[in-house]
Amino acid sequence: MKKSYIIAMAALLAGSLTAQTKGKDYTVSANAALKDGSTVKGEFCTERISGSTAFMEQLGLDPAIVKSLTFAGTNGESKVELINGDKFGMTVANESFAIKSLLGELTIPRASFRSLAFSVRKCAQTNAEDGLILYCTFDDEAAMATPAAGPSMKLELGQIRSQEGKNGGALFVNPGIAGAVVVLPKGTLTSEGCIEFWANMASGKTEFSTGGDPNYFAIYTVDGNPGGALGFASNDGVGNSGLCGFFFGMRAYSNPGYTHLMPYSDVFKGEDYNGWHHYAFTWTRTILSLYIDGKRVAHTTGQLNTELLANGDITLAIPLHRTLGKSFNNKSAFLMDEFKIWNYAKTSFDL
């Protein structure tokens, strides 16, 4: 591999990323494997990886252009792979690396590492994301601890599946368990807003039952009472069917009532219901609307209970609130990605 080619590619990649992510529009995540068998996941806080190679005595790499770094010895010998596929040997000069994890920012000696894997995740651009009050990419646990926008999310019994999402990693939730939870401070949700996300049904089912096939999320008031939910049900308990949602006094559903099993194809109008689909849940004071892939499949008119909504902190659980037991139990496995909450009733979506 020619020295000039490596230098040119490193400069080009670094310049491209700098141009695209000016103003801290990205973070670099790290998955560290340590020699004692443990792992550390989080945001990589070391700005440069410095060292030397056979073709360059002094080399400084932006972690954003590095895919992986594997250590062969305690003296810093390592194998480097860049995101464009280039591979070369490098003697790393950094004595330690800083990683912000769920345990706080850790400074780990270089000699403790077996390998480091890197990924770049995009953050919300504040100049283009007005009204965004929560944005979680689910790329890794660090993306939940420090979302691109909004308060931290807590991984409960769900899993983060790297590179299996719509874009990067995704939250995977098995039947009957709690995936993740976020507490939204009083006043975060107001008289209009929107919750949107991508989801992939992973159960292999062709029909769904009375409720929870799957349940995507549930909303609870400060005293633990249900305030909202979204999921598939052949009967949501009050005779509604299809994709069913409710939010502080208003209910919407996509299909008329069924009594037993209902096929997903009835909701998706004969189109393929497998794979990734975009869901949105939008409300105003008088209208609740549900969307699939940007098309409104359900809406209702009513009256939002603004007093109950504004009563205190709101807990949003995906989909089960562990401390409340089996409320809104989920019966089907699913993947969720790119979860966003807006402070206005969004009706058009970037798909």
Distance CA(239)–CA(158), nearest Å, equals 30
- pTM for the predicted model, two decimal places: 0.68
Q: According to the model, what pLDDT value does residue 129 have?
A: 67
What is the overall mean pLDDT for the chain? 86
326 pLDDT band, cuts 50/70/90, is low
337 pLDDT band, cuts 50/70/90, is very high
CB 298 within 8 A of CB 243: yes
CA angle at 179 for the pair 155 and 257, rounded to the nearest 5°? 155
Average pLDDT over residues 329-333: 90
| 10-14, 256-260, 272-276, range with greatest mean pLDDT | 272-276
- Domains in the chain: ranges and CATH: 3-122 (no CATH), 132-342 (2.60.120.200)
**pLDDT tens for each residue of 71-88:** 987 788 999 999 888 899
Measure Cα distances from 69 to 83, 183, 261 in Å: 11, 37, 51
pLDDT of 325 > 80? The answer is: no
Distance CA(60)–CA(51), nearest Å, equals 7
pLDDT of 108 > 70? The answer is: yes
57 pLDDT band, cuts 50/70/90, is confident
**pLDDT tens for each residue of 217-257:** 999 998 888 999 999 998 888 888 999 999 999 999 999 87
* Percentage of the residues of the chain whose pLDDT score is greater than 70: 89
The DSSP element (H or E) to which 86 belongs, if any, is none
Q: Phi then psi for 267, rounded to 5 degrees?
A: -80, -40
pLDDT of 4 > 50? The answer is: no
